[in-house]
Structure 1
């Protein structure tokens, strides 16, 4: 028999099957809850179980700590209900209205942007169009059934191919294929759009956009969408990498800073070498935000990239620099390695 789940803040209810993850049950019934990886690695779907009990499947310790468990928190992507539940978690409006599809696509172009970054463009069938929100991602469905997630770097209004930014992870099944044997006109299959990382347009707050590495991809889509919609909110992009080559589209960001009103760009390198001839900011990219904006109480933050960057930014911004917890939106780029030692 199915169990009832009640969302404490709104009172909305949905049903979950005994062996079904709470998050998947909500999404299946058109209820938008925050999520990212869907496999217990990123922590985006964390909520508090107010009443009832859940069984928590193996997950990354960084996504849900033992201390958080003792306080009644759970990762809803890998939590199953033992009975009726009441859960306290922020709901996400708008996501449930967009149809998630499984689609074939053709490789339209492969362009190397850096030694370890390829811009991959996908052409949909002529009779298909993917509706999505700027910042969302797709999941490639591989031949063995495994999935690989990539954020869309092209904004929703873009009429051409879907643009992704793929970083090479040596030894990774999919990225080794992209960088080694994939060619134009190859056929792939994906599901999307997915995720709750997208621009909240119902706010007038200034925006801090925080990216590391290829976390720039969904940030790019958000910026281009905001420009297209003529949103006049101040936007500052902080983009971090180890070396200058990691900021693989820096010319584009610098051009936005010249052309887009109320937009500024702060590149940050953590380990520049002599060949970079770097005269800009150095250190951790989220620390550059703190140096410039010690009081974040009036801001919205969108952070995307390496899990350690996202986790550090969320902790420091909300605990020490007055950012409201519900104004931090993130997409943590987790990989199979992030679940290598689940708890």
Structure 2
């Protein structure tokens, strides 16, 4: 049995199988509902249920408070319909441009760039190339059926390989394996491209790029895409970490700042030690943006990192710096701890 989902105001319709979430059905149908984590933690897929019956699966209270659910709001990533439904959601143009595929990949290189960060380069089959938008992510499919999401850290034009940045989360099912037993030439299967966090190339607005930790990965892909496009749009990158070593590609960002006239780099450290000899900006990374850009009304912002960083940035940029809410694009990295 399947149910029909109608999206307003576009009028787009797609079928949703019994037991399937509205978001998964939309992805399968190439309908661009906004989303991020796909597991009820980030609220990117929140919309309104206009008619019909649904059941919500497990999700975080902060993503969909009971008071909002009572008003008819829904998280489509964990909403399963029991009848035909009509929803209200802002569709994202371009999401369905490239098909979501399951693909094998071979680890071509594992590079340790910090004590707790590695960059893995994945070689795709010679006859296939993954088409995606700069900023999107893939899901590794693990043997026990679980999945782990990582953003592509290179722009799609770069080469036949894709790279991901992985931070070690002690006790993590996947990252413990990455930092102990995973080796070059091992095979990893993934599904992608996924996500509605990507560069909007139809705008001439200057951009502020905000990253914390390995949230730098999709931001790097977006910057590379803008360089490749020769867009000329002003770019200001704020990259935050606790210690200087957390900015594991600091030299690359400094090179961009030296060689790209429209590019500015602002590294920000929140917990520098005396022996770090850090003489740059201190504090929380989004607050550095608040200081430098009291008026963001004419900008786009792309933010990626820990949920607390992304949530704080959106709240303060919109409420204090006059950023139009629709010009804040974000990908909040969620771990298993974030889902508890």
- CA distances 1:94-132 after superposition (whole Å, capped 9, x unpaired): 121201111111111111110000011111111111111
Q: Report whether the alignment pairs 1:24 with 2:19.
A: no
Q: Report whether the alignment pairs 1:259 with 2:251.
A: no
Shift of 1:261: 2.1
2:236/2:265 contact within 8 Å kept: yes
Unaligned segments of structure 1, at least 5 residues? none
**Cα 1:268–1:229 shift into 2, 3 Å:** same
- Structure 2 partner of 1:322: 322
Shift of 1:195: 0.8
- Structure 1 partner of 2:219: 219
- Structure 1 partner of 2:235: 235
- Structure 1 partner of 2:186: 186
Shift of 1:82: 3.6
Structure-2-length-normalised TM-score: 0.96
Aligned partners of 1:89 and 1:322: how far apart in 2? 23
Q: Report whether the alignment pairs 1:276 with 2:276.
A: yes
Aligned partners of 1:226 and 1:208: how far apart in 2? 13
- Structure 2 partner of 1:203: 203
Shift of 1:322: 1.4
- CA distances 1:233-263 after superposition (whole Å, capped 9, x unpaired): 1111110011101111011111111111211
- Structure 2 partner of 1:107: 107
Shift of 1:2: 3.4
Shift of 1:321: 2.1
Aligned partners of 1:53 and 1:314: how far apart in 2? 31
Aligned partners of 1:204 and 1:70: how far apart in 2? 39
2:46/2:73 contact within 8 Å kept: yes
Shift of 1:54: 2.5
Q: How does 1:292-307 map to 2 (within 5 A)?
A: 292-307=292-307
Aligned partners of 2:235 and 2:89: how far apart in 1? 27
Other structure's SS at 2:77 match: helix
Shift of 1:65: 2.2
Aligned partners of 1:68 and 1:272: how far apart in 2? 40
Unaligned segments of structure 2, at least 5 residues? none
Aligned length: 340
- Structure 2 partner of 1:62: 62
- Structure 2 partner of 1:145: 145
- Structure 2 partner of 1:339: 339
Shift of 1:12: 1.8
Aligned partners of 2:165 and 2:112: how far apart in 1? 10
Greater Cα shift, 286-295 or 219-228: 286-295
Aligned-residue Cα RMSD (Å) equals 1.4
Aligned partners of 1:19 and 1:50: how far apart in 2? 20
- Structure 2 partner of 1:89: 89
2:129/2:160 contact within 8 Å kept: no
2:210/2:302 contact within 8 Å kept: yes
Aligned partners of 1:67 and 1:309: how far apart in 2? 24
Aligned partners of 1:319 and 1:50: how far apart in 2? 28
**Cα 1:50–1:325 shift into 2, 3 Å:** farther
Aligned partners of 2:231 and 2:289: how far apart in 1? 22
